[in-house]
């Protein structure tokens, strides 16, 4: 019994010495396995964008640098909006990859008009274990080498306008840009668009490939920290200053000019 206690104590001392003196991973003295360090939890409100933009958003949310490698050929892949609360980086990246996973039909050039199924996904992975805030993540994208079969099936999609309206844009601004894109693409029967005022949702119904224009427009809108309230406050200040300037001009124009008085000549008498 004493031998077991001394052995456990020795393992604990050894693991602490290795972790503190040599900077290596701490080891559980009972199991002999590495002890996973605590991960930083954070909230994330990502409007969508490229992998590099997501990395930047995570760094801002955590306050820590994020080690990430993004291949050049995958740098322009557009990621969906992500809104998370009280998560850690591995959770976020696991959810992103699971959400991206889908099966598409690809044309099989060897057999004429036949097609095959291909599973696609993308996301960030790491070879480090256990996870830590200093893990190195690499972005990957599984894409078919053969062209995909374009589906003509119509679908319904919902897009939140909240963040864009708070930036100062109007629904008309956004829908006009979308419809202009469809018109330039030569669409004779573009998808239907409707705005639901109560929920601030833009609802679109059309073919999947045609709805990609909406994502492109929303992701291309310039970002700004100026909210609608701040814009209204600035406009109020401008109006108040304009009123003050007009009142000052009226006061100046109504003021009677003071006649100049010539100095009296001195008499020599």
Structural domains in the chain plus CATH codes: 27-149 (no CATH), 151-248 (3.30.1370.120)
Under the banding of pLDDT at 50, 70 and 90, the label for residue 22 is very low
Under the banding of pLDDT at 50, 70 and 90, the label for residue 29 is low
Residue 21, pLDDT score: 41
Residue 23, pLDDT score: 45
Residue 30, pLDDT score: 63
Phi, psi angle pair for 178, to nearest 5°? -65, -50
Q: For the residues 127-151, what does the mean pLDDT come to?
A: 81
Judge whether residue 33 has pLDDT over 70.
no
Judge whether residue 80 has pLDDT over 70.
yes
Between 203 and 255, whose confidence is greater? Answer: 203
| Among the ranges given (103-107, 126-130, 158-162), the one the predictor scored with the smallest mean pLDDT | 103-107
Residue 246, pLDDT score: 77
Q: For the residues 106-111, what does the mean pLDDT come to?
A: 60
Q: State how far Cα 162 lies from the chain centre.
A: 14
200: exposed, middle or buried (Cβ count in 10 Å: 0-12, 13-18, 19+): middle
Judge whether residue 126 has pLDDT over 90.
yes
Does residue 49 come out as left (phi exceeding 0), alpha (psi in the -120 to 50 range) or beta? left
Residue 6, pLDDT score: 52
Judge whether residue 85 has pLDDT over 90.
yes
Judge whether residue 82 has pLDDT over 60.
yes
**Confidence (pTM):** 0.47
Cβ–Cβ under 8 Å, residues 215 and 78: yes
| Among the ranges given (114-118, 135-139, 149-153), the one the predictor scored with the smallest mean pLDDT | 149-153
For the chain, give the percent of residues with pLDDT over 90. 35
Q: What b/e readout covers 142-151, taking b as 16+ CB neighbours within 10 angstroms?
A: eeeeeeeeee
Most confident of 9-18, 26-35, 60-69, 110-119: 60-69
Under the banding of pLDDT at 50, 70 and 90, the label for residue 150 is low
Between 213 and 230, whose confidence is greater? Answer: 213
Q: For the residues 64-92, what does the mean pLDDT come to?
A: 93
Helix (H) or strand (E) holding 89: helix 89-100
From the list 206, 216, 224, the residue with the least C-alpha distance to 164 is: 224
- Separation of alpha carbons 244 and 138, rounded Å: 59
Residue 41, pLDDT score: 95
């Amino acid at each position: 019994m004493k031998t077991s206690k001394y052995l456990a104590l020795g393992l604990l001392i050894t693991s602490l010495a290795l972790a503190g003196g040599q900077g290596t991973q701490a080891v559980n003295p009972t199991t002999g396995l590495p002890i996973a360090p605590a991960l930083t939890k954070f909230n994330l409100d990502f409007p969508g964008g490229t992998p590099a933009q997501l990395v930047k958003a995570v760094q801002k949310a955590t306050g820590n640098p994020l080690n990430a490698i993004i291949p050049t050929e995958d740098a322009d892949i557009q990621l969906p909006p992500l809104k998370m609360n009280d998560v850690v980086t591995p959770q976020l990246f696991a959810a992103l990859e699971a959400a991206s996973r889908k099966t598409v039909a690809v044309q099989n050039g060897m057999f004429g008009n036949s097609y095959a199924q291909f599973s696609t996904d993308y996301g960030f992975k790491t070879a480090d274990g256990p996870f830590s805030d200093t893990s190195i993540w690499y972005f990957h994208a599984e894409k078919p080498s053969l062209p995909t079969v374009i589906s003509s099936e119509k679908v319904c999609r919902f897009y939140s306008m909240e963040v864009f309206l708070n930036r100062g844009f109007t629904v008309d601004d956004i829908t006009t840009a979308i419809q202009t894109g469809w018109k330039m693409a030569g669409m004779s029967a573009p998808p239907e668009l409707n705005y639901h005022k109560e929920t601030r949702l833009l609802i679109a119904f059309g073919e999947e490939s045609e709805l990609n224009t909406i994502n492109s427009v929303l992701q291309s809108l310039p970002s700004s920290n100026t909210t609608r309230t701040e814009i209204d406050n600035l406009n109020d200040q401008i109006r108040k200053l304009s009123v003050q300037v007009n009142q000052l001009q009226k006061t100046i124009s109504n003021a009677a000019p003071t006649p100049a008085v010539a100095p009296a000549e001195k008499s020599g008498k």
